[in-house]
Structure 1
């Protein structure tokens, strides 16, 4: 004959009672939350002097996207080592447009992390044309 301990029987009974429980239907539609989504993210202006002089790097920023879908705060978390690149990254992201995050159907601010790489192109046509100009034309 099997004997059950009272604790086990109560735990199983409580678990079975909860299985059938469902929240009351309020009739209100369920609105899913959404995350921020990039809509228009043109590349930043890469300072030609830096690109032609083989200066690049990675800038990582914390960006708060407001309920209007525009950046409301931009903080450089790790810079490239070149202030001009860090500034170009901030200025570029400031012009970006997003579809804002939503909670219960309403737009809300959301913080995202944005890495931006600047890869120099010293062999580009722009750099070559720049080098061919006379010094007094610069």
Structure 2
């Protein structure tokens, strides 16, 4: 066989195999996205603890479900105050998120969330009324 017919046959085979590679290929899947916070109001900070200068940080492990709401909350590290830890957990339970996605579909994802309780730098006026009530 001469080089020309072999080259022509190779070109025909290549053309036939590439014919199936037209624009009919499915588009690539959308990129995955992580969880994103949408609404995260702060927890209630008990006035008595704020007035006493008691603060801390609760770190929670939160599983955000496909609907964008927490489905499980576990304490990773407590603040050192049970009341603050409870309020952190209650606040996070009410938060809303944009769910993580994989292949364009929402999926559950677990994240760690720190919740800070920082005592006010200037003692609120309400603390004085609280002090006066205790003195009775």
Task: Tell me whether 114-123 or 68-77 shows the greater mean CA deviation.
Answer: 114-123
Identify the residue that residue 43 of structure 1 maps to in structure 2: 42
Q: Give the whole-Å Cα distance in 1 for the aligned partners of 2:100 and 2:124.
A: 39
SS at match of 2:80: coil
TM-score, length of structure 2 as denominator length: 0.75
Identify the residue that residue 86 of structure 2 maps to in structure 1: 87
SS at match of 1:112: strand
Identify the residue that residue 123 of structure 2 maps to in structure 1: 123
Q: CA deviation at 1:91?
A: 0.3
Unaligned runs of 5+ in 2: 1-20
Q: CA deviation at 1:77?
A: 0.5
Whether the aligned pair in 1 keeps the contact of 2:29 and 2:104 (CA below 8 Å) is no
Q: How big is the alpha-carbon RMSD for the aligned residues of Structure 1 and Structure 2?
A: 1.9
Identify the residue that residue 55 of structure 2 maps to in structure 1: 56
Q: How many residues align?
A: 113
Unaligned runs of 5+ in 1: 1-23
Query: Which of the pair has more CA radius of gyration?
Result: 2
Q: CA deviation at 1:52?
A: 1.1
Identify the residue that residue 17 of structure 2 maps to in structure 1: none
SS at match of 1:34: coil
Pick closer, same or farther for the CA change 1:63–1:120 going to 2, 3 Å.
same
Q: Give the whole-Å Cα distance in 1 for the aligned partners of 2:68 and 2:37.
A: 9
Name segments (4+ residues, structure 1) moved above 4 Å. 132-136
SS at match of 1:115: strand
Identify the residue that residue 113 of structure 1 maps to in structure 2: 112
